[in-house]
Amino acid sequence: MKKRGKFHTKFIFITGGVLSSLGKGLAAASIGALLEARGLRVTFLKLDPYINVDPGTMNPFQHGEVYVTEDGAETDLDLGHYERFTSTIMSGKNNYTSGKIYYSVITKERKGVYLGGTVQIIPHVTDEIKTVILELASKEVDIAIVEIGGTVGDIESLPFLEAIRQLGYDLGKENVLYIHLTYVPYIKTAGELKTKPTQHSVKELRAIGIQPDILLCRTDRFLPADIKRKIALFCNVEEDAVITAKDIDCIYEIPLIFHREGLDEKIVEKLNIWTREPDLSPWQNIVKTYKNPTDEVTIAIVGKYVNLKDSYKSLNEALIHGGLALNLRVNLKYVGSDELTSENLEDVFKDVEGILVPGGFGARGIEGKILAIHYARTKGIPFFGICLGMQLAVVEFARNVLGWKEANSTEFDSNTPYPVIYLMKEWFDYRKGCVEQRNEESDLGGTMRLGAYPCKLKRDSIVYQAYKQEEIFERHRHRYEFNNAFREALERGGLKVTGTSPNEELVEIIEVEGHPWFVGVQFHPEFKSKPLRPHPLFVDFIRASYERKLKLRGQL
Ligand code: GLN
């Protein structure tokens, strides 16, 4: 096992207690933002206790968004928070599930690596976990932030907790910090904040041998000194290590609240690191804009998972970032695509300035999305199609402009006479090889085009105006592609291909001639948008949508 000794990287372990959904991922990301603002170099690791090898095959209703990294790993959505809050670039190495860990242990066992020994959770599984954690140590990293998914007390997270307990011992006090996120509810009828759930959660953690150094207490108000004192006493932590993690509207305010509570100061003190005071002005500016926008704009997101906003996490954030860049509040109106009909279209979209059709898989709701695209195209409403949204924009154009009524993607109709979107055999096989090489553990999902690919932009295009560069790199996650057999006919009809792979074989971006803003992209730009570096396409889409609003108001 690689020992830390060679490098100076220190570790912060973040666990959660009482209940799930307290915002561990955002807390981890915000700590990263604060440490970066102090000039430290950070990295992250998310350890998920479930048995799936990665979330790639999981239903968005179960798991929320699948976040795709540059190197094409399908990961937990918390990696999206890490990238948005910091300058880190995550990869497959930054997310491990129990499934991935066990897979590796079992593969080693089959290969005889354990030399006939009995393979056990302790030490073999825990050693595997420790190896994965210690892989984060390098010359380039001052602090590695490791978030353990799940809630303390769950059976399945025990091996992870045991591994981080051992690391505390192996690496020594000044190199390891345990942060526990817990819940302090305000009970209305009693008019009191209650500390008992926190006490129990910490007790549970201590029973496994982990004494937290810092407590982040999720609550609806700032904790008064007496409550902090009480928690400190019962949980055996210092009083100024009890930090309020208050509910807020704007997630980008979390680093500011943590700082105000003294969290970053406490972390560097405990880890015995000298740093400068943090420069938080970029975050302050964002929060200021978020709270005092000059105006607002409403965007409809027409999708299948509209009831679970976590499914479109990066997309929602990217739209908000686009608004922040223009001092605008972006209201998101979720429209369930299977409820759209030609009768209710007008009514559903009457109060929106832009329409976005996001990525998706499977046939449900397809026709509703096509109706929405048709509406946006013919009414001159700014339209942004992402992945499936782009593919359906091509289908809509083929059906309604070229009159190929049966045009479709072969994902939905394998017998269509006009397969404008299809599986490209040679690329499919090539990709399978690449992806398998990149990620040995992935056998399912190996057929998708995953991760960052280059794309060449045409100068005379909306997208070039937005990016202001000729070559871009964006992340993909799909199987189907634009069918070049129909390209010439579609282009003659007014569909513009404005972005392709460098060899021009893969169509990556389409626009519509004469429309104010109609852009379909085969990739997922939302994964690369950050509040401090909003994605140019989202900024431009919001700008165009707002322009429409001003025009309708007669102000432009
Ligand atoms: N289902 C489509 C495909 O596999 C689109 C995928 C997506 O939108 N991410 O190509």
Q: Which neighbouring-strand residues pair with 383?
A: 355, 518
Whether 217 sits among the annotated catalytic residues: the reply is: no
Q: Check residue 116 and give its pLDDT.
A: 87
Give residue 90 CA to ligand 1 midpoint distance, Å.
22
Give residue 119 CA to ligand 1 midpoint distance, Å.
40
Specify the range with the lowest mean pLDDT, choosing from 189-203, 269-283, 420-434, 450-464: 420-434
The residue count for the chain? 556
Distance spanning both ends of the chain, measured CA to CA: 65
Mutate to test the pocket of ligand 1, among 57, 59, 361, 435 (most ligand atoms within 8 A of CB): 361
Residue 20 — pLDDT band, cuts 50, 70, 90? confident
The protein residue with its alpha carbon nearest to ligand 1, atom 9, reads: 359
Whether 387 sits among the annotated catalytic residues: the reply is: yes
Q: Is 10-285 in CATH node 3.40.50.300?
A: yes
The protein residue with its alpha carbon nearest to ligand 1, atom 6, reads: 478
Q: Check residue 121 and give its pLDDT.
A: 93
Whether 524 sits among the annotated catalytic residues: the reply is: yes
Which residue ranges make up each domain of the chain?
A: 10-285, 293-553
Atom of ligand 1 nearest to the CA of 358: 8
| Mean pLDDT taken over the chain | 92
Mutate to test the pocket of ligand 1, among 366, 395, 477 (most ligand atoms within 8 A of CB): 477
Q: Taking a C-beta distance cutoff of 8 angstroms, is the pair 431, 478 a contact?
A: no
Task: In whole angstroms, give the CA distance from residue 482 to residue 382.
Answer: 22
Atom of ligand 1 nearest to the CA of 360: 8
Phi, psi of 547 (to 5 degrees): -60, -40
Q: Check residue 435 and give its pLDDT.
A: 54
- Mapping DSSP to helix (H, G, I), strand (E, B) and coil, where does residue 15 land? strand
Q: Check residue 61 and give its pLDDT.
A: 67
Question: Could you read off the pLDDT of 500-552 as tens digits, one per residue?
Answer: 999 999 999 999 999 999 999 999 999 999 999 999 999 999 999 999 999 98
Burial of 116: CB neighbours in 10 Å, binned 0-12, 13-18, 19+:
exposed
Q: Taking a C-beta distance cutoff of 8 angstroms, is the pair 147, 164 a contact?
A: no
Give residue 318 CA to ligand 1 midpoint distance, Å.
19
Question: Measured between alpha carbons, how far is residue 50 from residues 100, 167, 515 in Å?
Answer: 9, 22, 46
Burial of 114: CB neighbours in 10 Å, binned 0-12, 13-18, 19+:
middle
Give residue 386 CA to ligand 1 midpoint distance, Å.
9
What mean pLDDT do residues 439-455 have?
71
Mutate to test the pocket of ligand 1, among 68, 387, 414, 523 (most ligand atoms within 8 A of CB): 387
Catalytic annotation, pick one of 253, 478, 526, 535: 526
333 phi-psi bin (left φ>0, alpha ψ -120 to 50, beta other): beta
Rg over CA atoms, the chain: 25
- pLDDT for 430 beyond 70: no
- pLDDT for 439 beyond 60: no
Specify the range with the lowest mean pLDDT, choosing from 117-126, 293-302, 420-429: 420-429
Give residue 478 CA to ligand 1 midpoint distance, Å.
4
The protein residue with its alpha carbon nearest to ligand 1, atom 5, reads: 388
**Domain 10-285 identical in fold to domain 293-553:** yes
Atom of ligand 1 nearest to the CA of 448: 4
Question: Could you read off the pLDDT of 72-107 as tens digits, one per residue?
Answer: 999 999 999 999 999 999 999 999 999 999 999 999
Which residue in 406, 386, 395, 370 sits closest to 478, CA to CA? 386
Q: Check residue 256 and give its pLDDT.
A: 97
The protein residue with its alpha carbon nearest to ligand 1, atom 8, reads: 359
Task: In whole angstroms, give the CA distance from residue 262 to residue 239.
Answer: 11
Question: Which overall architecture, per CATH, does domain 293-553 show?
Answer: 3-Layer(aba) Sandwich (3.40)
Report the pocket of ligand 1 as residue ranges, CB < 6 Å. 359-361, 387-388, 411, 477-480
Burial of 444: CB neighbours in 10 Å, binned 0-12, 13-18, 19+:
exposed
Task: In whole angstroms, give the CA distance from residue 309 to residue 316.
Answer: 8
Mutate to test the pocket of ligand 1, among 391, 476, 483, 508 (most ligand atoms within 8 A of CB): 391
8-state DSSP, 86: S
Catalytic annotation, pick one of 65, 387, 411, 478: 387
Q: Taking a C-beta distance cutoff of 8 angstroms, is the pair 355, 545 a contact?
A: no
Give residue 357 CA to ligand 1 midpoint distance, Å.
12
Atom of ligand 1 nearest to the CA of 480: 10
The protein residue with its alpha carbon nearest to ligand 1, atom 3, reads: 478
Task: In whole angstroms, give the CA distance from residue 224 to residue 232.
Answer: 12
Give residue 521 CA to ligand 1 midpoint distance, Å.
11
Catalytic annotation, pick one of 180, 478, 515, 524: 524
Helix (H) or strand (E) holding 215: strand 214-219
Phi, psi of 253 (to 5 degrees): -90, -15
Atom of ligand 1 nearest to the CA of 387: 8
Q: Check residue 21 and give its pLDDT.
A: 81
The protein residue with its alpha carbon nearest to ligand 1, atom 7, reads: 359
Q: Taking a C-beta distance cutoff of 8 angstroms, is the pair 467, 444 a contact?
A: no
Q: Check residue 149 and give its pLDDT.
A: 93
Give residue 477 CA to ligand 1 midpoint distance, Å.
7
Strand order in the sheet with 495-500: 328-336, 295-303, 354-357, 383-386, 518-521, 507-512, 495-500, 449-457, 471-478
What mean pLDDT do residues 372-397 have?
98
Peptide bond into 534 cis (omega under 30): no
What mean pLDDT do residues 175-201 have?
95
Q: Give the per-residue SS3 of 483-539.
A: CHHHHHHHHHCCEEEEEECCCCCCEEEEEECCCCCEEEECCCHHHHCECCECCHHHH
Question: Measured between alpha carbons, how far is residue 228 from residues 19, 196, 234, 454 in Å?
Answer: 20, 13, 10, 52
